[in-house]
Structure 1
Amino acid sequence: MNKNSSNVALGDRTSQIEQDAQERILANLAATLDRTLPVPLGVQLRGLIEFGIGFGELVPGQKLPSVRELAERAGIAPMTVATVYQDLRKSGLIKAKPGAGTYVNDGHTRDGLRSTSMRKIQRRIDALFNEAEEMGLSPTVVSSLVNARAARGRSPSRPMHLVIVGHFLDTTQQYADRIREYLGPNDSIAVTTLSALQAGKPLPQPCDLCATFPHRRSDVESLIPPGTPIVNLNFIPAEETRAQLAVIDPMARIGVVSIFPEFMAFMRPGVLRFTPHVSDVEVRLITDPDLTEFLQSLDVLVYASGAEPLLKDLPAGRQAIEFRYVPDPHAVRQVLVPEIERLRSAPLATKEEIE
């Protein structure tokens, strides 16, 4: 086989892998929509995509089904899918490539972290050469000074101050505790909630970098000081949660309670993924009027983080499992830590640049 034939074969295999991935996404989205839930299908669809992005099932650069494909497979109106995609584009979670389709965003395009940084550096370089010219120094001399500085390597690093924005203070603090081990000894990390910011409370400390859920990014962006860099936090189910689900009695009646309507459709397959020996589970929203009666009928309750108050209504002797998520360590190492180090080594902004 010649080189050209090998390249064609490789291209065919790559194309087939991409098609298979798109088909899996299409099938999963269509199959997971649950018409028995008291939540509009459009709200469910948006929640499924948001959750998929936030929890690493839809990775940056992944192509999403077209509006027509998803509408036909899921049996919903194309306008419903189009509206969901439009909302997700506005929030920066997905992006449309003209003539190519719709893709999961990389988390940096929306605020232009890289391009903004490059423009700042370019302005500093221009100012440096202009100042040198006024002092009678040639561009060659300035270039030599810059090269000599680059050869010395990085300057001593400065401490970084992170703020994590979540839904509930206790669980957000748990996220921060997990992330802390990746930080430097002089770095600090503090937590707050979206509701606290919406109530007008300030950030708990000076913030060099803010981290939050992908689907809450645009909300947080509007509530923190302009220009504050933001990164997406991705999550995976906690090991303890997976272990507890795996040993549930297959004959037990299992109920799931969600806090947010848009994530109800996601929680059922999320539980069943780790309980393959269980045939089905029932899902309720924490605000359902029949919640107390529902809890009394269960052998095992699986509840979303933040729903702890409902445990007081769970009969004694019944098992309760928090469906807890933790920051994805791979995403922390590959996205969060590099962004921290980039900001750590960047020059401090001047007053003029901040304004």
Structure 2
Amino acid sequence: MGVRIAIPTFSFETSAGLMFNFILNKNLPIGAQAQLEGYIEFGIMSGYFWHQPQLPSVRELAAQLDISQATVSKAYENLKKKSLIYTLPGKGVFVHQPTLESERQQSIESLKGDFRSLIQRSRSLNIDPILFIHLFDEGVKPIKLDKKVAWVGNATRVNEKYIRELEKLVDIQPKIDNFSFDEFSSYSNKSDYGLILTIPHCVSKVEGMLSGTPILAPYLVPSPVVIQHLKEMKRNSKILMVSAYQNFIPVMMEGVNVYLNEDYEITSIFVDDLVSEMNRQTYDVIIYSSGCFDTIKKINLSESIVFEYDHIPAYEYLQGIAIPALYKMTCEHRAEKEK
């Protein structure tokens, strides 16, 4: 079934000044409630809600999308059960954020103000602000961890990509450990870890396994390979999007919306239907979510351009939140030992 990329139905501006779109597409193989949940998870994963903005009210969202308030309420309730959002009585609905991130973000905003003042002062003294870049480069030193750090996610194969992106920016010794959720859940020495890294929409899952260990959840952006594939897509290509989970279909659709410059016909299916769909017709391009990786490997798709719709941690987050947190943790542990 062909799906034409939808026009955003309702947009609102986040506190970070980003426009976030709620898109309901009646041609997708999931209903309005699942699409709403998927789009909010997409926003969390992609950093639109990094500054913890307030979500639209149930009444406002239902009116703008021309759906029932009950549909919006059910979507919000499911997201609350996953601990992705929460309600403040009398104030509204907000996106959940790890405490460490919130504190770190407040510190960053304060430092930004100080740095702007420093730049203004340097200009008044006829000193080029480029000097500060060189000073920062000189200050980047290897991080020697006194307490272990782990990355916990859906699959160790995907986690390894995320860890490599962090290691491109700073040398970390010893290496960050890599766990799937199932592996970490059964791991008996979780208290050995001074910091856990995970993905934004899985924070509550990790919090349930821990007792006070700090968590960071870098928001994700499409990998350079994905962006290149989308930008180079030939006009009028027949595209098949394959997802392992229903709430990831809106994530993929929104990501494709950002980078495709033409009006393409797209078919969206679940991975369980892939074989029957390929027997029915052929596609020029197949885009699959990371959860489909094992299934895709077993199927001969040599006649199509095939690529994984994968993500990497955002550079801004790694530089502004994760690396400073690792430095701070190391310094605090060393200070404790010296007491």
Please report the TM-score for the alignment, with normalisation by the length of structure 1. Answer: 0.70
How far is 1:41 from its partner?
2.5
Instruction: Determine the structure 2 residue equivalent to 1:69.
Output: 60
Instruction: Determine the structure 1 residue equivalent to 2:177.
Output: 190
Instruction: Determine the structure 2 residue equivalent to 1:79.
Output: 70
Equivalent runs, 1:263-274 vs 2, <5 Å:
263-274=248-259
How big is each residue's C-alpha offset from its partner over 1:327-349, in whole Å with a ceiling of 9 and x where there is no partner?
A: 10101122222322332233589
Counterpart of 2:156 (choices 163, 166, 169) is 169
Counterpart of 1:96 (choices 69, 87, 112) is 87
Counterpart of 2:272 (choices 271, 284, 287) is 287
Instruction: Determine the structure 2 residue equivalent to 1:234.
Output: 219
How far is 1:212 from its partner?
1.1
3-state DSSP class of the match of 2:99? coil
How far is 1:296 from its partner?
4.6
How big is each residue's C-alpha offset from its partner over 1:179-201, in whole Å with a ceiling of 9 and x where there is no partner?
A: 12344543430111123345x34
What is the alpha-carbon distance in structure 1 between the residues aligned to residue 155 and residue 90 of structure 2? 41
Instruction: Determine the structure 1 residue equivalent to 2:238.
Output: 253
Identity of aligned residues (%): 24
How big is each residue's C-alpha offset from its partner over 1:105-162, in whole Å with a ceiling of 9 and x where there is no partner?
A: 443179x978xxxxxxxxxxxxxxxxxxxxxxxxxxxxxxxxxxxxxxxxx9753422
Which runs of 5 or more structure 1 residues have no equivalent in the other structure?
1-15, 115-155, 351-355
AA aligned to 1:208 is G
What is the alpha-carbon distance in structure 1 between the residues aligned to residue 296 and residue 144 of structure 2? 46
Contact 2:15 2:51 in 1 (8 A): no
3-state DSSP class of the match of 1:62? coil
Contact 1:64 1:101 in 2 (8 A): yes
Contact 2:238 2:284 in 1 (8 A): yes
Equivalent runs, 1:39-50 vs 2, <5 Å:
39-50=30-41
Change (3 A) 1:335 1:318: same
How far is 1:177 from its partner?
1.2
Which runs of 5 or more structure 2 residues have no equivalent in the other structure?
1-11, 105-142
- Give the number of the structure with larger relative contact order, counting CA–CA contacts within 8 Å between residues 6 or more apart: 2
How big is each residue's C-alpha offset from its partner over 1:229-249, in whole Å with a ceiling of 9 and x where there is no partner?
A: 111121111111111111111
Contact 2:144 2:173 in 1 (8 A): no
Change (3 A) 1:17 1:60: closer
Please report the TM-score for the alignment, with normalisation by the length of structure 2. Answer: 0.73
AA aligned to 2:34 is V
AA aligned to 2:268 is V
What is the alpha-carbon distance in structure 2 between the residues aligned to residue 343 and residue 47 of structure 1? 34
AA aligned to 1:166 is G
Counterpart of 1:219 (choices 196, 199, 205) is 205
How far is 1:271 from its partner?
1.4
Change (3 A) 1:289 1:314: closer
Instruction: Determine the structure 2 residue equivalent to 1:243.
Output: 228
AA aligned to 1:49 is I
